[in-house]
Chain A
Amino acid sequence: EAQVTQNPRYLITVTGKKLTVTCSQNMNHEYMSWYRQDPGLGLRQIYYSMNVEVTDKGDVPEGYKVSRKEKRNFPLILESPSPNQTSLYFCASSFVKGGSYNEQFFGPGTRLTVL
């Protein structure tokens, strides 16, 4: 089954304790992206990657890191989480077809709480 998986789905942690949220897709998509969703703000893009070893900052990259060593995986790293990073996080992927239809397939979301 074609899908985007995220782990963990739920995480409660404390300020300053490094964490990684994994994202994996099995559709051979070139493009992968992370978003955070906060009430009243919609989804905001954190980082995105056009392909292996190519990553770019989105609109809200501060406090986050990513890596793209393999095409299928795109982990999100919070080196020193803070309470303002409490949010619902989505990973998404899509094909890259320049200028044409690029539907993003979303993972199920990871609800992160930083105390």
Chain B
Amino acid sequence: AQKITQTQPGMFVQEKEAVTLDCTYDTSDPSYGLFWYKQPSSGEMIFLIYQGSYDQQNATEGRYSLNFQKARKSANLVISASQLGDSAMYFCAMREPSSGAGSYQLTFGKGTKLSVIP
């Protein structure tokens, strides 16, 4: 089974509208972290937001918020008031412990390409 699933290969949103990018994850470890990264056409990876498995509140960073539903194992990214500059690939990722003491791995989803329409 895939550890991170992003079911939307591509999405369109009107400028100034809100958009939700879906992410579901699969892990049996109680301690994990969830990240969202943005990759514009220039190729760099830009960190957006983080949610820890023990965090009680949903993470927010400016126009980005993470809708964390632990029981459903979902960590959807919500972008409010979309801007043209939000057009990019978006990746959901999960950090979970691996075999070595204190070691961890990071697994990425396949990404969602968001296009913001003027």
Chain A positions near chain B (C-beta within 8 angstroms):
31, 33, 35, 40-45, 48, 50, 54, 56, 58-59, 88, 90, 92, 96, 98-106, 108-109
* B105:A44 contact, CB within 8 angstroms: no
Chain B positions near chain A (C-beta within 8 angstroms):
4, 6, 31, 33, 35, 37, 43-45, 47, 50, 52, 91, 93, 95, 98-100, 102-111
A89 smallest CB distance to B (angstroms): 11
* A100:B35 contact, CB within 8 angstroms: no
Of B44, B102, B105, B107, the residue contacting A98 (CB under 8 A) is B102
* B99:A40 contact, CB within 8 angstroms: no
Taking CB atoms, residues of chain A closer than 8 Å to B108 are 35, 42-45
A64 smallest CB distance to B (angstroms): 16
Of A41, A56, A103, the residue contacting B98 (CB under 8 A) is A56
Given contacts A56-B99, A99-B31, A101-B52, contact A45 B47 (CB under 8 A): no
* B50:A103 contact, CB within 8 angstroms: yes
Given A92-B45, A104-B47, A109-B44, 8 more pairs with CB closer than 8 A: A31-B104, A41-B110, A42-B108, A48-B103, A58-B105, A98-B102, A100-B33, A108-B44
Residue of B whose beta carbon sits closest to that of A108: B44
A31 smallest CB distance to B (angstroms): 8
Taking CB atoms, residues of chain A closer than 8 Å to B106 are 33, 45, 48, 104
Taking CB atoms, residues of chain B closer than 8 Å to A105 are 47
B58 smallest CB distance to A (angstroms): 15
Taking CB atoms, residues of chain B closer than 8 Å to A43 are 91, 93, 108
Residue of A whose beta carbon sits closest to that of B30: A99
Q: How far is the CA of A94 from the CA of B35 in the complex (A)?
A: 13
Q: How far is the CA of A106 from the CA of B31 in the complex (A)?
A: 23
Q: How far is the CA of A92 from the CA of B39 in the complex (A)?
A: 14
Q: How far is the CA of A101 from the CA of B106 in the complex (A)?
A: 12
Q: How far is the CA of A89 from the CA of B98 in the complex (A)?
A: 22
Taking CB atoms, residues of chain A closer than 8 Å to B6 are 42
Of B33, B44, B45, the residue contacting A101 (CB under 8 A) is B33
